[in-house]
Amino acid sequence: MRIAIAAVGRMKAGPERELVARYLDRATATGRPLALTGFEVTELAESRAAGAAARKAEEARALRAALPGGVLIMLDERGRSMGSDAFAAQLARWRDDGRASVGFVIGGADGIDPDFLRTADLALSFSPMVWPHQLVRIMLAEQLYRATTILAGHPYHRGE
């Protein structure tokens, strides 16, 4: 199953970008024997539309076009919170159900278009707090790596 991330906003070169790359490289290596592949990020420019609603709608069109289809997960502070074990188990269920891909969406500064959000298979929250897209990308990359280690029985994850 292919894992894809589409994010509004571009990360500059530096430690944040390097950390995302490190976690996704690790997820790729650990995920390969588990039939989890891809782990790629597509960065999209922020909309220049005049109003927030128009910006969100324009970004939603770009995000939708950037993803391969399949399961759609939106990162949203109002979404469902889940632990790492449950997250890994859900990815494994989708994989075992024959889903070809899972696409993760990280919206722009104005958030995600409500109509687009309603199309999600899962709205996922890392916290009720709002985080900058750079940190959300790091947290998502780390959780994807953690999920592969959980599924592989690797000692990186030492949760209960």
**Do 146 and 84 contact (CB within 8 A), yes or no?**
yes
Q: Is 51 annotated as a binding residue?
A: no
Q: Is 128 annotated as a binding residue?
A: yes
Q: Is 47 annotated as a binding residue?
A: no
Q: Is 127 annotated as a binding residue?
A: yes
Q: What is the pLDDT along the chain (160 residues), one digit of tens a residue?
A: 999 999 999 999 999 999 999 999 999 999 999 999 999 999 999 999 999 999 999 999 999 999 988 999 999 999 999 999 999 999 999 999 999 999 999 999 999 999 999 999 999 999 999 898 899 999 999 999 999 999 999 887 666 5
Q: Is 107 annotated as a binding residue?
A: yes
| CA atoms 127, 133, 138, 140: torsion sign | positive
Q: How do the residues of the chain divide into helix, strand and coil, expressed in percent and rounded to 5?
A: 45, 20, 30
Model-level pTM? 0.94
Domains of the chain: 2-152 (3.40.1280.10)
At position 92, the amino acid (one-letter code) is A
Q: Is 131 annotated as a binding residue?
A: yes
Rounded distance, CA 75 to CA 63, Å?
A: 13
